Structure 1
Amino acid sequence: MMTTIITDTGSDLPKQLLDEYEIIMLPLIVQVNDEEYLDRSNIEPKQLYTYMKEGAVPKTAQVPPSIIKETLTSCARNGQPAIYITLSSGISGTYQTAVLMKNEVLEEYPNAQIEVFDSQAASLGYGLMVYEAAKEAKEGKSFDEILHTLQHYQNHLEHIFTVDDLEYLLRGGRVSKTAALMGTLLKIKPVLHMEDGKLFPLEKLRGKKKVLGRMVELMKERASSLDDITIGISHADDTETAKALKDLIIEETGNKNILVTMIGCAIGAHAGPGTIALFFLNTPKKAS
C-alpha cells in the first residue's frame, strides 16, 4: 500500500502539488488582532501581510494535538503506512507533540506503520523534502526507502534567506533594537541560514541586488552540483524579487528546475513581508 505523506502548513507547498501527490497538510495556528486562525484554512498569507504592514504583531502555535492524532489514527485504522514530516523542532513544538500522538495511536494500533520525521527545516525547505517523499511514495518506493531519502535531505538541505525589514526579526528576538534601527537607516539587509534546525545570521549587505547576488554565490559555493536538483524559492508577497532571484539562478547555473511559492502565515508571521528564501541540496541524492 502506498505510503501517505503528511506535512503541516509551514512547508509552504502549493495546493496543486498537494492535490497531485495526495499530500495531507495539517494547519498550524496563527493568532492576530485577538483572533485565532487555522493557517491556509481561514486565513491566507496576503491577508496576514496586510495586517502586519498595518502594525499587527501575529503569533503562531503548533498544529492542535487532536488534529494530529485524528489524522494518524485514520491512517492506522485503514492500515495505511504514514510519514508525518514536521516543521523543525528547533522553531516549533509540533514535532514533539506529533511524537506523543504517534505513541498514543500505536498503543491502540501496535502494528501500524507510522513515523514522525523532524525536517530540521522551514518553509519550502522542508516543502522540498515533502515533495520528494510524495513523489517516491507515488512511484511505489517502500516506507524505509522514503525515510532514507528524508534523512539525506535533512543532512544536506541548505537554507539561505533575507528579510526586507529587520523590525520583524527584532520582534522575534533575532536582532537587537540598535541593529534593527541602524539596519533600517543604512538599508542593510541580513543574509541568514539554518543550521541544526535553528536560524543564524551569516552576513550583512547593503541593497537588495547585492543580497540576491550573494545568495546565489553562496549556493554555488555550498553545492557540489546544481544539476538534477530542484531549487526552491519562497517569498513573502514579493513576486518581483522572487522572479529576479529565479532569473539570476538560471543565468548563473543553467538550472531551470526551480519551484517558487509564497511563504505562508506560519513562517511569514515571524519573518515579515518581503522575505526571500532560497533552498537547495548541497549534495544531490544518488539514484537508487
Structure 2
Amino acid sequence: MKPFALLTDSGCALTADLRSRFGIDSYVSGNVTFPDGHTEKADLDWQRRTPEEFFSAMSSKKFLLKTSCPNIDEIESMFLPFVEEGREILMITISHGLSGTYNFALKAAEKVMEEHPGSKIRVVDSLRYSTAQGMLLAYASQMRDEGKTCDETADWVEANKNRFHQIGIMDDLFFLARTGRVNKAAAFMGSLVGVEPMADFSDNGLCTVVGKGKGKKKSLDACARYLEKLSIDPKSQTMFLAHSLREKEAAYLKKAVEERVGPKEIIVSSVDMFCGANIGPGLVAIFFYGQPISKDLIEEKKTIAECLQGK
C-alpha cells in the first residue's frame, strides 16, 4: 500500500527545502490582497519578494494587507491527483479561528469521497498557525516514516495538538488588533515602550498573551526558562523558531534555549506571508512539544510570571 499523502496550506511556514525534508506532498495557497488592490497567492517560498521587503513595508503601519482562504474547488483540485493514485490523504490546516481553510477543506473532502467511493481523506484542524502548524506536520511526517497509517497519524495529531506551545515576544500588536486576533487593551499594552507581550496558545488554539516582560533580553531569557519548565524531553526535540524581521532577537533566543535545554535541533525561519500579513513585523517565538495546555492558560500564566522573576 502506498504511504498516505501529507497535505497542508500556505499558513504552515514550510519553505521548499523543509517541505522536501518532511515529505509534504502538496499545499494549497490562500490569497493576500495588497494596498493597491491587487491579489497574489500566498507564497511559502518568497519568490516575488523577500521576507525583509514584505515586513519592512508593513513597518509604517500604512501598508495594510488582507488575506482570504483558498476556495473549495482549489482544495478539491489538490486532493484529486492523490485520490486517483489510490493514496489516502491527511491534510493539516491552519487554525479555524484564523482562516476558513479548515471548513472548506472538510467540504472538499466530503465531495471528493462521495465522487470516489473507497477514498479516504482526513482533515485535521491544527489549532495552530505558521511554524507551529509546520511543526505538527513534521511530527506527522515522522509517524508516516515509522509506518503509522493515515488514521493513526491523524488521531495522534488530534489528541496531542494542544501539547504544542509557543512562547516569545511581540514588539507591537497593532496588526493583530486590527484583524481582531487580540483585544485592543492587549494591543495598547504592547505599544508601550519597553513592554514585551508574551504569548502562548490557549486551549482553543488562539494566540493569547500570558505575560508582559520589560526589556527584550530579560523577556527572551524568561522565554527560555518557560520552555525548560513546560517542555517534555526537550533534548530529543526538533524545535521551530519563527520571526518577522527580528533576526537578532531570534538568534538570541535560539542560543538561550540551546544553552538551557540543548534540543536536538532548532529550525529558524521567517513567519510565512499568509500569517505574516496579519502579524506584521516584530514577532520572535519558539515552538515546542510539552505539557497539555491548561484551561484558560492558568498554569502557563503562573509559569511565565515565575520565569519573569528569574525563578
Give TM-score, length-normalised by structure 2. 0.84
Report deviation, 1:148.
3.3
For 1:198-224, what per-residue CA distance to the aligned partner results, in whole angstroms no more than 9, with x for missing partners? Answer: 121111122111221121122122224
Alpha-carbon distance in 2 for matches of 1:185, 1:212? 17
2:197 corresponds, among 172, 190, 204, to 190
Is structure 2 residue 151 aligned with structure 1 residue 144? yes
CA shift in 2, pair 1:188/1:75, >3 Å? same
Is structure 2 residue 169 aligned with structure 1 residue 162? yes
Alpha-carbon distance in 2 for matches of 1:140, 1:65? 30
**Divergent runs of 4+, >6 A:** none
Q: Which runs of 5+ in 2 are unaligned?
A: 293-311
Which structure has more relative contact order (CA 8 Å, sep 6+)? It is 1
How many residues are matched?
A: 283
CA shift in 2, pair 1:139/1:256, >3 Å? closer
Tell me if structure 2 keeps the 8 A contact 1:27–1:40: yes
Is structure 2 residue 64 aligned with structure 1 residue 64? no
CA shift in 2, pair 1:165/1:112, >3 Å? same
Is structure 2 residue 104 aligned with structure 1 residue 97? yes
Could you tell me which amino acid in structure 2 is paired with residue 19 of structure 1?
S
% identical equivalent positions = 28
Tell me if structure 2 keeps the 8 A contact 1:229–1:257: yes
Tell me if structure 1 keeps the 8 A contact 2:168–2:220: no
Q: What is the match of residue 27 of structure 1?
A: 29
Q: What is the match of residue 282 of structure 2?
A: 274
Report deviation, 1:163.
1.3
Report deviation, 1:123.
1.2
Alpha-carbon distance in 2 for matches of 1:137, 1:182? 43
Is structure 2 residue 218 aligned with structure 1 residue 210? yes
Q: Where do 1:72-111 residues align within 5 Å?
A: 72-111=79-118
Corresponding residue SS for 2:236: coil
Report deviation, 1:16.
0.7
Corresponding residue SS for 1:227: helix
Q: Which runs of 5+ in 1 are unaligned?
A: none
For 1:6-38, what per-residue CA distance to the aligned partner results, in whole angstroms no more than 9, with x for missing partners? Answer: 011211112112123431122121111112111
Report deviation, 1:185.
4.0
Give TM-score, length-normalised by structure 1. 0.91
Alpha-carbon distance in 2 for matches of 1:217, 1:61? 37
Tell me if structure 2 keeps the 8 A contact 1:129–1:153: no
CA shift in 2, pair 1:106/1:180, >3 Å? closer
Report deviation, 1:266.
1.3
For 1:214-252, what per-residue CA distance to the aligned partner results, in whole angstroms no more than 9, with x for missing partners? Answer: 211221222243231221111112222111111000111
Could you tell me which amino acid in structure 2 is paired with residue 282 of structure 1?
G
Corresponding residue SS for 1:97: helix
Tell me if structure 1 keeps the 8 A contact 2:56–2:245: no
